[in-house]
Structure 1
Amino acid sequence: MTPAADNSVTVIPVEGATLWRAFHRLPQRLYAGDPNWVPPLLIERQTHFQAHHNAYFKHAKASFWLALKNGEPVGRMTAQIDFLHLEQHHDATGHFGFLEAIDDASVFAALLGKGEEWLRNEGIRRVLGPVSFNMWDEPGLLVDGFDTPPNVMMGHHLPYYQNRILEQGYTPAQDVLAYERSAQEPFGDILEKMIEKGKRKHAFAMRPIRMDKESFPGEIELIRDIINDAWADNWGFVPITYDELAEIGALFKLILKPEALVIAEYDGEPVGVAMMLPNINEFIKDLNGKLFPLGLVKLIWRLKTRNVKSGRLALMGVRRQYRTTPAGAVIALLMIKACQKTEYVRKAETAELSWILDSNEPIKRMLEAFGCHINKRYRIFEKTIG
């Protein structure tokens, strides 16, 4: 007589090479039939979870779990506490992230329950998620826009995830949006006149980041100062640290030219920053997550010889004192113009501007006047656990 299958879900901590391999490779099985999923580079994902490679862990702690059913991995998740968030908001809030699972309510219940238990034992009374790992990484669950692949450093999820999360008592806390427009479409007469009027009153200058060894540390600190000032009032804001930004900068320094990141100067003072990334997802989709032995060669060759069809304005900020002024609008428009001319995207068909808080009505109105439309919506959920 054949023993009955054990359909119960077991959640175990991720420890050792075998379980970490299962943790990172689970999405490949879940998304195997999704033509719009882009397999991430496994080596990048692996290092992202290692404290000595990710400066996030200098101010945070996390736990990592796998869900097993009949001995097979069927789900994964992290729960984390960002001490900078607690210092900023004093709200006893932790996060869950990197949630992936089969379409089974019991798997979601087991994973989220385990995360809540760990967070509660650490003194946390409210959970936000998915946030992977924090708001500077990949916040939110895709809830609209499943029919196209994600842009670089943006998430992609399966449609049933939202209902499985809601079933566990979570409610929507905030939406973050991805806007899109034609990369080659001109600004239009009204915006061009606004720019020309501003130029008659003040001196605006756009320059690329300085990447030489002597200047680079100072540039990173300048960018950090501008971004933290520009975003300080945003929902869920946590200041980005120098070490976190330096890690990102070191990675981009390997594959991008200085023109990809623009610093705006207003009457000689640095007041804004914007970064336009080529959508390298177009170049890595067929690598199946493998960078070695030939994936790295293919990626570098494609970056050097091919034009991307899309780019992403992944970072933009103007110091708060100028944000609601006519000069601030001119600074933002000039940075976008400069980014459009970068070598990587000057022949691109579309440009994504993300992410944008759904509650940020002034920016949304500006983007809509700029000819942008929403192409993806991501949602962050919350739950009280104390």
Structure 2
Amino acid sequence: MTALTITPVTTRADRKAFVDLPFRLYRDDPHWVPPLKGEALGLITPEKNGWYSHAEAQLFLAHRDGRVVGRISAHIDTLALTMPAAQGFGPGVGQWGLMEAEDEQVFAALLAQAEDWLRGKGMTRALGPISQSIWEEPGLLIQGYDHPPTVMMGHARPEYRGWIERAGYLPVKQLQTYELDITQEFPPLVKRIIRSGEKNPSIVVREVDKRKFEEEAAIILSILNDAWSDNWGFVPLTPPEIKDVGVKLKPIVFNDLIRIAELDGRPVAFMITLPDLNEAIAPLNGHLLPFGWARLLWWLRKPRVRTMRVPLMGVVKDLQSSRLASQLAFMLIEAIRRASVANYGASRGEIGWILDDNQGMNSIATAIESRVNKVYQIYERTL
């Protein structure tokens, strides 16, 4: 067998090869959704990704017989290093992700290279896969290979799980997504809780105003960083990241799909819902040219989708142990459920990811009769 070589990504051509590899590895997988190549390049280009304002990364490519056969990213988030160790990150914790490989030999060589890079930076523990920010595509898909992922969720080959575990990595955390039929009304108990909240003059659930994008984003960011601050794996989102995410997601941000709940005039909860962009980009095979851009722009004018995804929601920490927390969550979900069906023709919702030990959110998902449809796993190993 021809020798395998691992080289760092240093040029624009290297980054292009890094992005192109999954298109070959997944070309026969009907459930893989090809990303837009421009977006994929932006995520690994420091000048285009605000995450790099507090992180550093080294990408690697594996070559055999003159072609690229694997890729991986080794990275360190300096904000993650400052977080409490009990929450998953902390001092000495590096990460790897964006892993794809033709076979286990390639994967093992890439992983060894990533680990060596992390050791050279003083890291003593590795978490993976995290691609690349915890807010992007964390975890390896281990359940739910039989249907496509929704927008901003990952896909993977089933054999990757065995490769990672044989490399000495142990599971540390699972992330779950839930799906539900949103054309159906919620159970009677949930409906009573919602009606009670709607009668409470202290509670207002409002749409965001896209014309005040930065102001509304600041409100949501404030709630998010408070609500999620005790969660495993939490790293605060920063203004550069919010700015870049805003540019990327603004075309699929619609006022009636993002709601803020106010209690006596104070913003205390939010829910973000996105039309499943993957339904629109799947046929484009990563390219906007020659005609993909026109199809996508037409779709963005008024999306008609099957699935809506809820990537983020939260209630401020001081209310999380109160009955109001679940009531506000149910009210937000119901308001957006109605809009999703009436205004976008959606019939399916997907909530997540949710940590497997987040009892509050898992209880809410169960109460509205949703079920786990995908599970992602994060692994760890001492370096």
Same-fold status (TM-score > 0.5): yes
Partners of 1:47 and 1:72 in 2: CA distance: 23
Aligned twin of 2:160: 161
Please say if residues 220 and 246 of structure 1, whose CA atoms lie closer than 8 Å, have aligned partners that are also in contact: no
Partners of 2:226 and 2:12 in 1: CA distance: 41
Aligned twin of 2:230: 233
What whole-Å deviation, never above 9, does each CA across 1:319-356 have from its counterpart, x for those lacking one? 01112211111110111112223358642121000100
- Larger displacement relative to structure 2 (169-178 or 357-366): 357-366
Partners of 1:256 and 1:200 in 2: CA distance: 28
Corresponding position: 1:268 with 2:250: no
Corresponding position: 1:300 with 2:297: yes
Percent pairwise identity: 38
| Residue correspondence of structure 1 range 305-384 to structure 2 within 5 A | 307-342=304-339, 346-384=344-382
Q: Secondary structure of 1:88's partner?
A: coil
Partners of 2:201 and 2:113 in 1: CA distance: 56
Aligned twin of 1:97: 97
| Residue correspondence of structure 1 range 103-118 to structure 2 within 5 A | 104-118=103-117
Aligned twin of 2:87: none
Give, as a single letter, the amino acid of the residue that structure 2 aligns with 1:192: K
Structure 2 unmatched runs, 5+:
85-89
Please say if residues 258 and 272 of structure 2, whose CA atoms lie closer than 8 Å, have aligned partners that are also in contact: yes
Q: TM-score, normalised by structure 2?
A: 0.95
Partners of 1:191 and 1:260 in 2: CA distance: 20
Q: Secondary structure of 2:314's partner?
A: strand
Q: TM-score, normalised by structure 1?
A: 0.94
Please say if residues 56 and 244 of structure 1, whose CA atoms lie closer than 8 Å, have aligned partners that are also in contact: yes
Please say if residues 307 and 348 of structure 1, whose CA atoms lie closer than 8 Å, have aligned partners that are also in contact: yes
Please say if residues 251 and 300 of structure 2, whose CA atoms lie closer than 8 Å, have aligned partners that are also in contact: no
Q: Secondary structure of 1:342's partner?
A: helix
Please say if residues 225 and 237 of structure 2, whose CA atoms lie closer than 8 Å, have aligned partners that are also in contact: yes
Q: Secondary structure of 1:134's partner?
A: coil
> Aligned pairs, how many?
377
Aligned twin of 1:24: 19
| Residue correspondence of structure 1 range 1-386 to structure 2 within 5 A | 5-6=1-2, 8-89=3-84, 90-102=90-102, 104-212=103-211, 215-304=212-301, 307-342=304-339, 346-385=344-383
Partners of 1:310 and 1:106 in 2: CA distance: 38
Give, as a single letter, the amino acid of the residue that structure 1 aligns with 2:79: L
Partners of 2:171 and 2:16 in 1: CA distance: 32
Give, as a single letter, the amino acid of the residue that structure 2 aligns with 1:256: V
Task: State the shift of 1:201 in Å.
Answer: 4.7
Please say if residues 275 and 315 of structure 1, whose CA atoms lie closer than 8 Å, have aligned partners that are also in contact: yes
Q: Secondary structure of 1:12's partner?
A: strand
Task: State the shift of 1:305 in Å.
Answer: 5.4
Please say if residues 62 and 81 of structure 1, whose CA atoms lie closer than 8 Å, have aligned partners that are also in contact: yes
Task: State the shift of 1:47 in Å.
Answer: 1.2
Q: Secondary structure of 2:70's partner?
A: strand
Partners of 1:193 and 1:286 in 2: CA distance: 42
